[in-house]
């Protein structure tokens, strides 16, 4: 079905899942950048870890790429901006290694506090240096947690068990939420001034590069100890080395470095510093979870499904309330494309009812995916759907209203000449089309549907049914709705098979029928 290029080792369970889905899994480890450019053409998916760099050049060479999957959290080795411009989805496995990273942070914290690696190395070299490697306790010390995300929270919970006092810096966390975790939120300068230990748990962004530099360290409490198991470059290694040499910083523990792999850093020569070669996610459990998760995300992306961990899709994280509406929104988009028969200048999407209380941007992407998927020969995804709309000159407007008159939730698409609306009905949440061109109906969306406009008088429905029967077309469902003015009527007919052009023309000639539209849903 699709060629999946895998350039680094991931769990066999993940590869087996992709093979079971019918995909060709092409494992090519140890590729040079030049070799990657040679083998990327023809690949529909690329799965990597941290050693492969996906540049704009790689994206351009992979003209068939649908998705790039990073079996891990960090994405600083992927040009996400270039991927987005090319309509390529970028996905990761953000929860696969959080427990391993948190545990490694605690291991580094303890190793630094008790000088375990240094004492171990000395003893192996024949030196009993018990007094030289005297450490400090964690109990009653203040731990400053920079970044109170998933990993930061796990570290805070574990540090609390050691009797540490907790403060944190995270501008994206509400103070009330921090208080629920028994953590005091402070600014970064205050955190550095009060902490005995600092652990870092932030993404590498332009704002966090060199977050801990000479200026920051100068404000730090004398004797502070820095632990970084996040991303290299967040701590300026030269500045940290100078602060350790001066004695202002008592020690540090780093698992990540600005350049990786590396065997050179000014920190490596300092006995007060503990280092490991990016082992934060290097557990069997984390690798298994990362491989399984990224395979699942790639499989969903190749199938055109909603991908929870897509990082370059606007509002990719759909709430549990919104997510069931994704298939409906995509179906409505595809049906509206057939109903409209051309590209409108504007497309209005209205969300009414309970779903209006939630972020509905992902539903708008689903509508566009369905709409353009039904009208374009090019692959359309959650990533490139807004770009396709802009390229075609379609202005997309979405509105929300928490009040709905007839339905608990309603999704309505409206253009200059046509409109369609749908909802989820019953305990099973079955999709229903409940309005077409302001005629109230109730019919499930189907792969083959007809919209027949007719006079509201006896005999018309029978003649339509007879003609379809004579053509060998079975009616599987039908709904009839009057116009708001009551002058005309509209039939929405679901058929067991497609209605050909000749049959549609004959229907249009039926006495009492004014227009016929064939709706073909391709999603």
Answer yes or no: are the C-beta atoms of 308 and 316 closer than 8 Å. yes
For residue 406, give the nearest of 438, 437, 384 by alpha carbon: 438
Neighbours of 30 (CB within 10 A): 9
Tokens 């990761």 identify what position? 92
pLDDT value for 236: 98
pLDDT value for 521: 53
The helix/strand/coil state of 290 is helix
pLDDT value for 448: 86
Answer yes or no: are the C-beta atoms of 428 and 381 closer than 8 Å. no
For residue 147, give the nearest of 223, 230, 212, 213 by alpha carbon: 230
pLDDT value for 84: 85
Strand order in the sheet with 430-436: 395-401, 346-353, 409-414, 419-425, 430-436, 439-443
pLDDT value for 522: 46
424-445: burial string, b at 16+ Cβ within 10 Å, e else = bbeeeeebbbbbbbebbbebbb
pLDDT value for 484: 65
Alpha-carbon gap, residue 351 to 355, rounded angstroms? 7
pLDDT value for 487: 60
Alpha-carbon gap, residue 289 to 283, rounded angstroms? 10
Cα–Cα distance list, 68 to 16, 78, 288, 513 (Å):
18, 9, 19, 51
Strand order in the sheet with 89-92: 24-27, 3-6, 45-48, 67-70, 89-92
Alpha-carbon gap, residue 51 to 210, rounded angstroms? 22
Neighbours of 343 (CB within 10 A): 15
* Residues of the chain falling short of pLDDT 50: 522-523
pLDDT value for 523: 43
Q: What six digits make up the tokens of 512?
A: 């009492």
Report yes or no on whether pTM surpasses 0.95: no
Q: What is the DSSP string of 141-189?
A: PEEEEE--SHHHHHHHHHHHHTT-EEEEE-TTS-HHHHHHTT-EE--HH
pLDDT value for 73: 80
pLDDT digits (tens, 9 = 90+) for 286-306: 989 999 999 999 999 998 777
pLDDT value for 457: 82
Provide the annotated active-site residues. 231, 260, 278
pLDDT digits (tens, 9 = 90+) for 394-430: 899 999 998 877 899 999 999 998 999 999 998 888 9
Q: Which secondary-structure segment (H or E) carries 389?
A: helix 385-391
Alpha-carbon gap, residue 461 to 491, rounded angstroms? 8
The helix/strand/coil state of 518 is strand
Answer yes or no: are the C-beta atoms of 517 and 336 closer than 8 Å. no
Domain architecture of the chain: domains with CATH: 3-96+285-302 (3.40.50.720), 98-275 (3.40.50.720), 323-520 (3.30.1330.90)
pLDDT value for 86: 87
Answer yes or no: are the C-beta atoms of 489 and 454 closer than 8 Å. yes
pLDDT value for 472: 86
Q: Give the HSE-up count for residue 246: Cα atoms under 13 Å, Cβ half-sphere.
A: 13
């Amino acid at each position: 079905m699709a060629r999946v290029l895998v350039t680094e080792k991931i769990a066999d369970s993940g590869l087996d899942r992709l093979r079971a889905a019918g995909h060709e899994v092409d494992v090519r480890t140890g590729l040079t950048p030049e070799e990657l450019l040679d083998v990327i053409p023809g690949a529909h998916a690329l799965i990597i870890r941290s050693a492969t760099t996906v540049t704009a050049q790689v994206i351009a060479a992979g003209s068939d790429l649908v998705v790039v999957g990073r079996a891990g959290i960090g994405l600083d080795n992927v040009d996400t901006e270039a991927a987005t411009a090319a309509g390529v989805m970028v996905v990761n496995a953000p929860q696969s290694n959080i427990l391993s990273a948190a545990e490694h942070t605690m291991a580094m914290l303890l190793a630094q506090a008790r000088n375990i690696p240094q004492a171990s190395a000395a003893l192996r070299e024949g030196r009993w240096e018990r007094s030289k490697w005297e450490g400090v306790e964690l109990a009653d010390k203040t731990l400053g947690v920079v970044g109170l995300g998933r990993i930061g929270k796990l570290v805070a919970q574990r540090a609390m068990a050691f009797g540490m006092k907790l403060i944190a810096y995270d501008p994206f966390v509400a103070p009330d939420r921090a208080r629920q975790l028994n953590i005091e939120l402070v600014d970064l300068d205050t955190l550095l001034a009060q902490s005995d230990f600092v652990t870092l748990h932030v993404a590498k962004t332009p704002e966090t590069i060199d977050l801990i530099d000479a200026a920051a360290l100068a404000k730090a409490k004398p004797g502070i100890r820095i632990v970084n198991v996040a991303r290299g470059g967040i701590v300026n290694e030269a500045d940290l080395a100078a602060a350790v040499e001066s004695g202002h910083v008592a020690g540090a523990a780093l698992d990540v470095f600005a350049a990786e792999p590396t065997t050179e850093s000014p920190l490596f020569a300092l006995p007060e510093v503990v280092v490991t070669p990016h082992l934060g996610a290097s557990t069997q459990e984390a690798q298994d979870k990362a491989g399984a998760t990224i395979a699942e995300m790639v499989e969903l992306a190749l199938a055109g499904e909603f991908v929870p961990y897509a990082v370059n899709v606007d509002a990719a994280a759909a709430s549990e309330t919104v997510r069931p509406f994704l298939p409906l929104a995509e179906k409505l988009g595809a049906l509206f494309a057939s109903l409209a028969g051309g590209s409108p200048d504007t497309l209005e999407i209205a969300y009414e009812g309970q779903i209006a209380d939630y972020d509905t941007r992902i539903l708008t992407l689903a509508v566009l995916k369905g709409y353009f998927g039904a009208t374009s020969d090019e692959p359309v995804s959650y990533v490139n759907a807004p770009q396709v709309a802009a390229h075609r000159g379609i202005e997309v407007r979405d509105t929300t209203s928490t009040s709905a008159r007839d339905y608990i939730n309603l999704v309505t698409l409206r253009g200059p000449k046509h409109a369609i609306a749908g909802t989820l009905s019953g305990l099973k949440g079955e999709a229903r089309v409940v309005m077409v061109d302001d005629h109230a109906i109730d019919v499930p969306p189907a792969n083959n549907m007809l919209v027949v406009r007719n006079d509201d008088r006896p005999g018309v429905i029978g003649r339509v049914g007879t003609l379809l029967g004579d053509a060998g077309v079975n009616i599987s469902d039908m709904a009839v709705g009057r116009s708001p003015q009551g002058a005309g009527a509209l039939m929405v007919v679901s058929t067991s098979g497609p209605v050909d052009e000749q049959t549609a023309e004959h229907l249009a000639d039926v006495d009492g029928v004014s227009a016929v539209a064939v709706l073909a849903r391709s999603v």
